[in-house]
Amino acid sequence: MSRNTAEMQQVFDEADCIYTEGQVSEAMDRLAGEITATIGDQDPLILCIMNGGLVVAGQLLPRLAFPLQLDYAQLSRYRGNTTGGELEWKVHPQTRLSGRTVLIVDDILDEGDTLAALTEACQTEGAERVWTLALVEKHHDRKSQPGFEADFIGLQTPDRYLFGYGMDYQGYWRNAPGIYAVRGL
């Protein structure tokens, strides 16, 4: 086992489990029901934010039993760090957004910069309606745009550094089978 792998295993072993895999699955079922009732008849485009939204979208899509299209965008603030920096666009959506109902799917709503920026970009591209989904919303008073909330929220968490279900710790543990908080952060 490499030094980095051993360190990352130690982070996992010492982390606090905030939500189990079963609890996350229940939240995903609830979100799918809410989304189906709200936009299931609107030919939506699901827009996954990479990399964090990948696991969330992968868990959500099979639960949505209606026709939809899928695309992605890649924006980053963390780039392997534990604090966010300036928002960097890496990949813009390839699907035409004009006149579309768009659902942006992300792993976490922390300060809100990523979801807000992508919402604005979709509106600028002519999306008829933009909805947002965050598997997790952190409770704190550091939102970059006071009052900004996701339309669909799976779980609420304390203001701690989280990993699992798309969220990472230094590039690791997006695959953790639950949502965990790093001890000491």
Which residues are CB-neighbours of 11 under 8 A, at least 6 positions away?
169, 172, 173, 182, 183
Per this entry, what is the length of the chain?
A: 185
Spell out the domains of the chain, with CATH numbers in brackets.
20-77+85-181 (3.40.50.2020)
| Percent of the chain residues past pLDDT 70, beyond the cut | 93
Residues 111-142 have pLDDT tens digits of: 888 898 899 989 999 999 999 999 999 987 77
What is the 8-class DSSP label of residue 172?
B
In this predicted structure, what is the pLDDT of residue 146? 76
In this predicted structure, what is the pLDDT of residue 80? 53
Which residues are CB-neighbours of 23 under 8 A, at least 6 positions away?
155, 178
In this predicted structure, what is the pLDDT of residue 1? 64
User: Given strand 16-20, what is the order of strands in its sheet?
Assistant: 16-20, 178-181, 162-163
| 129-138/152-157 β-pairing | parallel
Other residues' Cβ atoms within 10 Å of the Cβ of residue 105:
30
- CA distances (Å), origin 49, targets 25, 76, 179: 20, 9, 18
Find, among 165, 166, 164, the residue nearest to 182 by Cα.
Answer: 164
